[in-house]
């Protein structure tokens, strides 16, 4: 009979065998040839060039970026579909999450249609989410579509074991978000692809922000995408699964009809034609904000290099701040050093405002558990700290039917009311050290001042102000005049989960 020690040793041996098998089953790059590809430069103006010609005429595309803020979910989806449907030569798609729901299916359908009319489609997805490999490889089998996965798991049906065997590598994720058409127009910001980002029926709806851009920063997005697409981390989906079936026109037509996609977005609650942006899109009359800009982004090998090029560049911008800094981050874990730097900024005479999720509106309570450790020091140091309510109203035209709560997902900064940063980066250790991120900084005083004014006007209604009373953290609800002494609207289970997470040594993973 085996004693306890023998059983323990046997388990260890079996675990080593399993993990060794995981490593040996890793993807073999020699199976296929990976051909590099790059942004297509059009010799003649495209429809998108013509569409924005009125705006572009009086600006320099080499030094300036023109942008239109997409702060409503329905506009963000419509804008993506509009530029995809206008594509003539190329579409480059880069996302952390691409869901199999109405939003994801609608965009995938339009990408397939673009490929059918001869447009080259490059789709780069992070592999942290579990996708259907067979669907992706069939999508990629189209002669004009290529799908690559960033840093893929080597065990497709046992990702937990894969993480155990190769945690350091697989803990490195691509959080970048971009969509670029014909090398002319890009959409960058905080939104992934999924219903919750576009005001389509979901149990949660994210308040988010993207910028639709033309000009200098689009060229920078092109270079960024090419760098990631051709990096060793980006693996063709064909290397991952041997299945070589492909979609036909008939397959797609049947699929679209079965899902009712066309009917859903051409009538009723989700009718695109009812959106104010729709008229501007079809008439080519969108008014853009213009300013000098720079796209900031990490390199694909960020954890290996131990350097965040985005953070380095952004720090240089923030150090120029003289009057005010407003930070909007759904996941906010400032760490001891970051907390002290924010307090020091206040001591230097800057107004510092931070807007993040409350426990009830945060979809990752572990993040809240660690953030909560720094609330008191921040507020006592003069930082203005606000937590968004889980029932805050989100700007929309479409219905929130089915959404039980709202959640902040915007990642933005307003610097001196003259510059704005919009991107994928949270203010937490994961964004700083583990994930790759991207974002654009634009000097545009008119828009920056507008955003600042809207924030300061609306935040007392949509969020709780954090204050200190008798040495304890309290939540002031300015819309009701009440002061609350415990995490508002959060269940006891969420409170317990956040507290327990805050005592675990996981801050660097958040």
177 tagged catalytic: yes
Residues 6+ apart with CB under 8 A from 392: 207, 361, 406, 462, 463
Per-residue pLDDT at 153: 87
Per-residue pLDDT at 15: 40
Per-residue pLDDT at 263: 80
Spot the catalytic one: 72, 74, 172, 177. Answer: 177
Provide the pLDDT confidence category of residue 485 given band limits of 50, 70 and 90. very high
For 434, which DSSP code?
I
Handedness of CA 217, 222, 223, 225 (dihedral sign): positive
Backbone angles phi, psi at 484, to 5 degrees: -105, 145
Per-residue pLDDT at 225: 98
Provide the pLDDT confidence category of residue 19 given band limits of 50, 70 and 90. very low
E-only strand ranges, 8-135: 64-70, 90-95, 120-126
Spot the catalytic one: 92, 182, 208, 294. Answer: 182
Joined tokens for residue 275:
């959106």
Per-residue pLDDT at 27: 55
Question: How many alpha carbons fall within 13 Å on the CB side of residue 175?
Answer: 23
Residue 94 has pLDDT above 80, yes or no: yes
Spot the catalytic one: 154, 216, 389, 411. Answer: 411
Joined tokens for residue 194:
């999924």
CA distance 125 to 139: 13
Average pLDDT over residues 76-86: 93
CB of 101 closer than 8 Å to CB of 270:
no
CA distance 25 to 287: 53
CA distance 415 to 315: 12
Spot the catalytic one: 172, 175, 302, 368. Answer: 175
Joined tokens for residue 64:
């300036």
The DSSP code sequence of 200-220 is -S-SEEEE--EEEEEEHHHHH
- C-alpha distances out from residue 4 to 8, 9, 13, 15, 17, Å: 6, 9, 14, 16, 20
182 tagged catalytic: yes
280 tagged catalytic: no
Spot the catalytic one: 216, 409, 419, 428. Answer: 409
Provide the pLDDT confidence category of residue 423 given band limits of 50, 70 and 90. very high
For 142, which DSSP code?
S
175 tagged catalytic: yes
Provide the pLDDT confidence category of residue 2 given band limits of 50, 70 and 90. very low
Which of 166, 111, 175, 180 has its CA nearest to residue 144? 111
Per-residue pLDDT at 279: 85
Using only C-alpha atoms, the chain has a radius of gyration, in whole angstroms, of 24
Q: Which helix (H) or strand (E) holds 383?
A: none
357-391: pLDDT as tens digits: 999 999 898 999 999 999 999 999 999 999 999 88
Residue 346 has pLDDT above 70, yes or no: yes
Provide the pLDDT confidence category of residue 30 given band limits of 50, 70 and 90. low
Average pLDDT over the chain, rounded to an integer: 88
Per-residue pLDDT at 404: 54
Per-residue pLDDT at 260: 84
Region of residue 391 (phi > 0: left; psi between -120 and 50: alpha; otherwise: beta):
alpha
Joined tokens for residue 196:
């919750």
151-195: pLDDT as tens digits: 998 887 777 788 888 888 888 999 999 999 999 999 999 999 999
For the chain, give every residue range classified as CATH 3.30.870.10.
40-283, 298-509
428 tagged catalytic: no
Average pLDDT over residues 481-492: 94
3-state SS assignment for residue 406: strand
Spot the catalytic one: 75, 294, 416, 428. Answer: 416
Options 3.30.870.10, 3.10.450.50, 3.40.50.880, 3.40.50.1980; CATH for 40-283 is: 3.30.870.10
For 471, which DSSP code?
T
183-239: pLDDT as tens digits: 999 999 999 999 999 988 777 778 899 999 999 999 999 999 999 999 999 999 988
Residues 6+ apart with CB under 8 A from 499: 369
Fold entry, domain 298-509: Endonuclease; Chain A (3.30.870)
Per-residue pLDDT at 159: 77
């Amino acid at each position: 009979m085996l004693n306890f020690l023998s059983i323990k040793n046997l388990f260890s041996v079996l675990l080593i065998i399993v993990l060794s098998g995981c490593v040996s089953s890793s993807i073999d790059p020699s199976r296929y040839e990976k051909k590099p590809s790059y942004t297509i430069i059009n010799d003649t103006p495209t429809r998108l060039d013509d569409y924005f010609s009125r705006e572009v005429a009086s600006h320099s595309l080499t030094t300036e970026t023109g942008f239109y803020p997409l702060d409503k979910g329905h506009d963000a989806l419509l804008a993506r579909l509009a530029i995809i449907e206008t594509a003539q030569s190329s579409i480059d798609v880069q996302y952390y999450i691409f869901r199999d729901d109405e939003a994801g299916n609608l965009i995938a359908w339009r990408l397939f249609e673009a490929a059918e009319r001869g447009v080259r489609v490059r789709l780069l997805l992070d592999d942290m989410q579990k996708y259907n490999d067979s669907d992706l490889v069939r999508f990629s089998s189209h002669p004009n579509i290529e799908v690559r996965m960033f840093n893929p798991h080597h065990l497709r049906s046992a990702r937990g074991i894969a993480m155990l065997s190769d945690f350091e590598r697989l803990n490195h994720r691509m959080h970048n978000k971009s969509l670029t058409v014909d090398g002319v127009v890009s959409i960058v910001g905080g939104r992934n692809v999924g219903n919750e980002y576009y005001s389509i029926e979901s149990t949660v709806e994210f308040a988010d922000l993207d910028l639709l851009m033309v000009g200098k920063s689009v060229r920078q997005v092109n270079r960024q995408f090419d760098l990631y697409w051709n990096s060793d981390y980006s693996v063709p989906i064909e290397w991952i699964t041997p299945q070589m079936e492909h979609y036909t026109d008939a397959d797609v037509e049947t699929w679209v009809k079965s899902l009712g996609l066309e009917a859903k977005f051409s009538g009723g609650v989700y009718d695109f034609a009812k959106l104010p942006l729709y008229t501007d899109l079809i008439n080519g009359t969108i008014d853009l904000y213009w300013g000098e800009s720079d796209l900031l982004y990490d390199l694909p090998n960020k954890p290996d290099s131990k350097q965040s090029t985005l953070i380095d560049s952004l720090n240089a911008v923030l150090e120029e701040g003289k009057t005010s800094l407003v930070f909007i981050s759904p996941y906010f874990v400032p760490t001891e050093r970051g907390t002290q730097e924010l307090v020091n900024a206040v001591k230097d005479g800057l107004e510092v405002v931070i807007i993040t999720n409350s426990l009830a509106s945060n979809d990752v309570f572990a993040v809240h558990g660690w953030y909560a450790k720094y609330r008191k020091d921040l507020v006592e140091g003069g930082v203005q700290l606000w937590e968004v309510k889980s029932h805050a109203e989100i700007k929309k035209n479409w219905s929130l039917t089915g959404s039980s709560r709202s959640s902040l997902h915007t990642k933005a900064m307003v610097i001196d009311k003259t510059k704005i940063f919009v991107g994928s980066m949270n203010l937490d250790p994961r964004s700083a050290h583990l994930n790759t991120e991207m974002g654009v900084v634009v000097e545009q005083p008119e828009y920056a001042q507008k955003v600042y004014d809207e924030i300061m006007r609306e935040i007392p209604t949509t969020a709780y102000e954090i204050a200190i009373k008798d040495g304890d953290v309290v939540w002031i609800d300015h819309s009701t005049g009440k002061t609350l002494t415990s995490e508002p609207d959060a269940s006891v289970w969420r409170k317990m989960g956040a507290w327990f997470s805050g005592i675990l040594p996981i801050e660097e993973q958040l």
